[in-house]
Structure 1
Amino acid sequence: MEFIQSFFGLIEDLTWGWALIPFLVIIGVFFTVVTGFVQFRFFTRMFRVLSSKNQTGDPNAISAREALLLSVGGRVGGGNIAGVAVAITLGGPGAVFWMWAVALVGMCTSLIECSLAQLYKRSEGDGTYRGGPARSIIHGLGKDYRWLAVLYAVCLIASFAFGFNAFQGNTVAGAAEESLGIGRLWTGIGLTAVTGLIVFGGIHRIAKVADVIVPIMAIGYIAMALLVILLNITEVPGAIYTIVANAFGLEEAVGGGMGAALAQGLRRGLFSNEAGLGSAPNVAATADVRHPISQGITQSFSVFIDTIIICTCTALIILLGDVYTPGDEGVDGIVLTQQSLVSHLGGWTSYFLTLAILLFAFSSIIYNYYLGENALTSMTGNTAAIQVLRVLVMGVVFLGATAPGATAVFFFSDPLMGILAVVNLLALMMLFPTAKRILDDFKEQVGAGVARPILDPDKFADLDIDRTAWTGKDPDAD
């Protein structure tokens, strides 16, 4: 066992500890520049997904908004509450600035990877679709690269469906026990039962649940943060100045100065928004849209919501309070956020934050499960295998909730996510010319005055795309 742990530790050092974070940032900057800063050019279009006019009208299909909210539910979690606090504790307030920076370039990376997942998605014949990096590799790079798709799928299942779901189960049970006094066994039973009810309902039920709980948790948390900001409105400019000054070493809050802020901001930002890691494209591909770039823009918005909005809310809750002490690394991340909120609004907010954590963690569980299911279907169409996966995920959630020490078994999660990201980034670089083609097609239609561009598959006859998924017809046409 010690040898295995050392092996996975080496993998983590070679990915997250050495090259992966700079690689993610460099690719994000490259995509941003080459695409002409597309995430900023089409920023106002991102909000169209919130309108019912953006839907295609198929009652059986997953809408762009449902896919957005499911991905937000997966991205938004502990990284937005505890992760931001850890970044500020270890890197100082300046870490928040670098989280913003990595999110702005990550918006473009997410746009590219999710647009490719949409382009190469496959119709299930019932109004739903499946896609993601594994299918993008198979249909975009060819069958000679199927081994790469299998490697991706195995890493995704092991890290997200199993490893991270064990940790999420542990998070939910821990929060319920500490704040509400509910035993881990009862939380485990309840959480497992609800998880099973949802995942056995398939992507439709998963999307419908996300469509309800994600707005509740996100809007509720943002509203609480806005209340804190309003109560401390005169101190907000000072907090923003502190963030920027620390980011560039003009002020030093922790040892390491600008270097610590940069390292913590980039790392925590990438963990939070997942841009380039190859997870969100699996969800993005489920949406029924007129053009792949449309959903790419929508998923870019998801990164914006995750980091620029929600992570900033957490940062201001902490920095506007009197609990945070620069250089004090002895306060746990979630505790710092919780105590800061209590200092602003009173003790009742600790229960509110517990509820937010429960919702964040639960939305992540169903998101992580779907990533695993989708990866499994890229390797085999056996429905029995999907049923087995559902049962195993329920077991993992129960294990994580009732036996917190058991989560140590899933030490391989972060290293495998590192491999997952490397595979995804290599595929993105090889498929970028194709992404650029469909982006140019989208821009051309927008430039010609087309309000909602449509992908014409005849323009891309050389690509292995599903003609039943892309008909080239306007769903609103007579």
Structure 2
Amino acid sequence: MEAFVNGLNDLIWSQALIYLCLGAGLFYSIATRFLQVRHLKDMIVLMFDGKSSDAGVSSFQALSMALSGRVGTGNIAGVATAIAFGGPGAIFWMWVMAFLGSASGFIEATLGQVYKSKQGGQFRGGPAYYIEKGLKAKWYAILFAIVTVIATGFLLPGVQANSIASGINNAFGISPWITGIVLAGVLGAIIFGGVKRIANVAQVVVPFMALGYILVSLVVVFANLSQVPSMIALIFNSAFGTEAAFGGILGSAIMWGVKRGIYSNEAGQGTAPHAAAAAEVSHPAKQGIVQAFSVYVDTLFVCSATAFMILITGMYNVKPDGVAPIVNNLGDIEPGPIYTQQAVESVLPGFGAPFIAIALLFFAFTTIMAYYYMAETNLTYLNGNVKRVWSEYLLKIAMMGMVVYGSVKSAGLAWTLGDIGVGSMAWLNIIAMLLLTKPALRVLKDYERQKREGKDPVFDPVKAGVPYADFWEKEYKYPESVQSGNRKLS
């Protein structure tokens, strides 16, 4: 069984997916004229734009929900595994993936808004919706929805739960079984309350946990301030193979940097569009720009905080697959939260292990909440207009069970299953995004035109030349003849 799982993971995460992710990010950066730089000011301003309604959430709540998914165990345990298997240079490639990925993040979030629907009185959207409406490929949309329910409902929660249980066991000696059962109970109390409860919890917890984590990282960095120049040099030299010790693993540095970068910031993976579609905004590009910023927050801020703590204190091993250990500072321990715990402990004895365990609890638990929302959204899509309450209850119970199961399984198996889920979604979503490039760029062009005219952009799909935007067409209440004409646009 384990051999099959590893083989499937190697097939999905072949060099082709690495090139596809990097290529898509580069293409969208050029196609949008590097909007991730040009619209940096808008990213901050639009973050607080809009208010929640009965159907949707505010831009900040949508950002928090998306960050709940992005900021998770990948920011702590994921960075550790990237360094362990790809060397310090993997961090540079995570940065590259964040910069390029922010453009991909804009495209997928914007598409999520353009093709969203109102079901059961709530906004719903995501890749399944824009694949069906934009590409008119129902079979493809169903395939994505099924893969996403499996990935976010069954495969990915185990990674988050495993890291929480591992961190708490390292810090407090509490059995993973106990941690798993408690996590499942708290998760149930939240997800049975619906999307509003998830959004309300996320908007409080996410900013608090990210800020606290970054502040502690600054303490660790300032305690080793003299090591900063050599640490930065190590990252860049290792990234390009010019560091003697890591020159032979350049391919691993790129692969693990991109792989963990995607896992952490989720750009192009197809997860963020679900939260983006839930936002109540006047123009799809507004939420696209906000979600582009969330990629920066995840990788450039939180992941960098972890990497700096680990590297500047030397609390890491580098043991690439099939290669003799290059660095062995921590002995025979499995890569994960313990790298970061040891890093903080080296500066703040007695504080590091419990702090990272608690930070990981917040990071990973909010990610599990976000996974449930994604799984529920795709289940809602599969159910169509038929309200199947039993299927939602089954999903909730199954997900709680996977949290317990993931807590007690080995970290290696949990990560492999999670990688399969991430990679499968990324393949399907990026191909769909590339096929829907034209309408996404038209939305950006329409937003920028209205901004130049001094307006607060409001989306009119007919004027923007974006067909099949059913929700937005109904908002304008166009006559049927006009809507039919809009659908003929190419």
In structure 1, distance between residues paired with 2:398 and 2:467: 37
Pairing partner for 2:131 from 128, 137, 159:
137
Shift of 1:339: 0.9
Name the counterpart of 1:22. 19
**Is the Cα–Cα contact under 8 Å of residues 344 and 351 in structure 2 kept in the other structure?**
no
Call closer, same or farther: CA 1:82–1:166 in 2, change over 3 Å: closer
Q: Does 1:286 align with 2:282?
A: no
* Correspondence for 1:347 among 328, 342, 350: 350
> Counterpart of 1:476?
none
SS in 2 for 1:84: helix
Equivalent residues in 2 for 1:207-222, closer than 5 Å:
207-222=199-214
Letter in 1 for 2:327: D
Question: What are the superposed Cα offsets for residues 254-273 of structure 1, whole Å, 9 maximum, x if unpaired?
Answer: 35153333232222212211
Report the equivalent of 1:118.
113
Contact 1:457 1:470 (8 Å CA) reproduced: no
Match of 2:401 among 371, 377, 395: 395
- Residues 144-159 of structure 1 mapped to structure 2, 5 A cutoff: 145-159=137-151
Q: Deviations over 1:75-109 (max 9, x none)?
A: 11222112222222332222211111111000000
Pair 1:472–1:352, CA change in 2 (3 A): farther
C-alpha distance in 2, partners of 1:275/1:82? 19
Instruction: Report the equivalent of 2:422.
Output: 417
Are the counterparts in 2 of residues 80 and 272 from structure 1 also a CA contact under 8 Å?
A: yes
Cα deviation, 1:107-136, whole Å, max 9, x if unaligned, reads 00010011001100112363x310000000
Is 2:307 the partner of 1:315? yes
Q: Tell me which of 453, 460, 468 is aligned to 1:464.
A: 468
* Aligned 8 A contact 1:279 1:371 in 2: yes
Matched, 1:90 2:85: yes
In structure 1, the residue matched to 2:483 is none
Tell me: CA distance 1:92–1:157, structure 2 relative to 1, closer, same or farther (3 Å).
same
Are the aligned partners of 1:323 and 1:336 in contact in 2 as well (CA < 8 Å)?
Answer: yes
Worse overlay, 295-304 or 323-332: 323-332
Equivalent in 180, 190, 199 of residue 198 of structure 1: 190
Q: Which residue of 1 aligns with 2:245?
A: 253
Relative distance call for 1:212 and 1:470 in structure 2 (3 A) is: farther
2:457 equivalent in structure 1: 453
Alpha carbons of structure 1 residues 17 and 379: separation in structure 2 relative to 1, 3 Å: same
Question: Which residue is equivalent to 1:174?
Answer: 166
Q: Deviations over 1:153-173 (max 9, x none)?
A: 111111111111133233323
The separation in 1 between residues aligned to 2:406 and 2:412, in whole angstroms, is: 6
User: CA 1:263/1:407 → structure 2, altered by over 3 Å: closer, same or farther?
Assistant: closer
Q: Is 1:359 matched with 2:362?
A: yes
SS in 1 for 2:313: coil
The change in CA–CA distance for 1:410 and 1:102 in structure 2 (over 3 A counts) is: closer
Look up the SS of the partner of 1:123 in the other structure. strand
Q: Tell me whether 130-139 or 359-368 shows the greater mean CA deviation.
A: 359-368
Q: Which amino acid aligns with 1:17?
A: S
Q: Structure 1 residue 219: deviation in Å?
A: 0.8
- The answer to whether 1:100 aligns with 2:95 is yes
Q: What SS does the corresponding residue of 2:100 show, helix, strand or coil?
A: helix
Residue 48 (str. 1) matches residue 40 (str. 2): no
- Aligned to 2:470, what secondary structure does the other structure show? coil
Q: What amino acid sits opposite 1:38 in the alignment?
A: L
Q: Structure 1, residues 423-449: CA drift from partner, whole Å, max 9, x if none?
A: 111111111111011111011111222
3-state DSSP of counterpart to 1:277: coil
Residues 168 and 365 in structure 1, CA contact (< 8 A), matched pair in contact too: yes
Unaligned stretches of 5+ residues in structure 1: 474-478
Task: Give the Cα–Cα distance (whole angstroms) in 2 for the partners of residues 49 and 454 of structure 1.
Answer: 13
The superposition leaves residues 241-283 of structure 1 with CA deviations (integer Å, 9 ceiling, x where unpaired) of 2222222233233351533332322222122111111111111
1:229 and 2:221 matched? yes
In the TM superposition, structure 1's runs of 4+ consecutive aligned residues that sit over 6 Å from their partners are: none
RMSD between superposed Cα atoms in Å: 2.5
SS in 2 for 1:429: helix
Alpha-carbon distance between aligned partners in 2 of 1:286 and 1:437, rounded to the nearest angstrom:
21
Cα 1:342–1:11 shift into 2, 3 Å: same
**Amino acid of the structure 2 residue aligned with 1:456:** D
Give the superposition deviation at 1:460: 4.9
Q: CA separation of 1:137/1:62 partners in 2, compared to 1, >3 Å: closer, same or farther?
A: same
Report the AA paired with residue 21 of structure 1. Answer: I
In structure 1, C-alpha distance between the alignment counterparts of 2:417 and 2:400, rounded to whole Å: 19
Who is 1:374 aligned against?
377
Question: Normalization by structure 2: what TM-score?
Answer: 0.88
Distance (Å, rounded) in 1 between the aligned partners of 2:450 and 2:427: 33
Kept after mapping to 1: 8 A contact 2:35/2:103: yes
**Within the alignment, does 1:386 sit opposite 2:392 as a pair?**
yes
Is 2:50–2:58's contact at 8 Å kept on the other side of the alignment? yes
Q: Give the paired residue count.
A: 463
Cα separation, 2, equivalents of 1:236 and 1:409? 33
Tell me if 1:305 matches 2:311.
no
1:405-444 to 2 correspondences below 5 Å: 413-444=418-449
Partners of 2:79 and 2:177 lie apart in 1 by: 30
Distance (whole Å) between structure 1 residues aligned to residue 221 and residue 59 of structure 2: 31
